[in-house]
Amino acid sequence: MSKISLQSMVTRNNDIVVGIIDEEIAMMNLETRELYHLNSSGKQIWDLLDRPQTIDDLCKVLGARYEVTSEACEKDILRFVEELAAQRIVLVG
């Protein structure tokens, strides 16, 4: 996998089955048959990925919602997307 940057385009993996429980998401990757859980913060990113987005776009939206520096937001979202990409929950291009 190539290095993920702020300009990387992120999309949902269509092989993920998703169930929403309150403010959290339970999901299963049909390819690996592994289960995953996203808390309310992760759910917000998943919801934003209803269409392909760059990481920079995600940072702009979430940075406007919360009182957080752009550096902290970028670091947290990059790390989170890297984790999701490693599990093939999202695809990065």
**Cα separation values, 20 from 2, 30, 44, 91, Å:** 31, 17, 12, 21
**Cβ within 8 Å of residue 80, ≥6 positions away:** 42, 45
Q: What is the pLDDT of residues 60-75, one digit of tens each?
A: 999 888 888 989 999 9
What pTM does this model have?
Answer: 0.87
- How confident is the model over 26-66, as pLDDT tens digits? 999 888 889 999 998 899 999 999 999 999 999 999 988 88
